[in-house]
Amino acid sequence: MSTPTGPVRLRDEMVAGPGGAMTDGLADITAEYTGAEETCTLTGSPVPVPPNGLRALHDQALTAVRAGQAAEAPRT
């Protein structure tokens, strides 16, 4: 298995839960509404990649946004 040498982008389509997701002007964990052309940065981002890796952080972010309730970037 090879290790990426540049930035890695993970992308999924999903529906945010009631209350949506909080966003601010930082970078790294972003959300894009279906059909939208712009992305919004989640509040609390950037966050460090946890020891269990980028995929784990991505999955945590998806879980948070799907739940809604003004979701923010996961704190690991």
pLDDT at 36: 85
Q: Which helix (H) or strand (E) holds 23?
A: strand 23-24
Can you give the pLDDT at residue 25?
A: 39
Burial class (CB in 10 A: 0-12, 13-18, 19+), 57: buried
pTM: 0.68
Q: Where are the alpha helices (DSSP H) in 1-76?
A: 54-67
> Residue 72's pLDDT is what?
93
Q: pLDDT of the chain along its 76 residues, tens only?
A: 566 566 677 788 888 888 887 765 334 788 888 888 888 889 988 888 878 877 888 899 999 999 999 999 998 6
